[in-house]
Amino acid sequence: MNNKVYIVNNYNNNMVNEIKKNSEVILKYLKRNKNITITEMVGKLSLSRGQIRIAVSFLLGAEKINEFKVGMAKVYNIK
């Protein structure tokens, strides 16, 4: 039983570390480029759309970036 708990916790820690790493990549990109959509980030960064969406949600929750709408697109920039 304890081995299973360790495996799940280790998996969760790896996921959290990956989200933090991806968030740092996105923050660096947003510092150089203002008002960027997820689609534009997918084209420029070596991350998948899913990885970017999760990291952007993390950054929004941490209040490190802003989100606003331009037409139908959601645009992101640094606070």
Amino acid identity, position 3: N
Task: Return d(Cα 77, Cα 37) in angstroms, integer.
Answer: 9
Question: What CATH number is given to the structural domain containing 36?
Answer: 1.10.10.10
Token digits for 50? 């899913």
Domain count, the chain: 1
Per-residue pLDDT of the chain in tens (79 residues, 90 and over written 9):
455 544 445 557 788 889 999 999 999 999 999 899 999 999 999 999 999 999 999 999 999 999 999 999 999 999 8
Q: Can you give the residue range of the structural domain that contains 17?
A: 2-78
Model pTM? 0.81
- The confidence score (pLDDT) of residue 7 equals 46
- The confidence score (pLDDT) of residue 16 equals 85
Task: Return d(Cα 16, Cα 51) in angstroms, integer.
Answer: 12
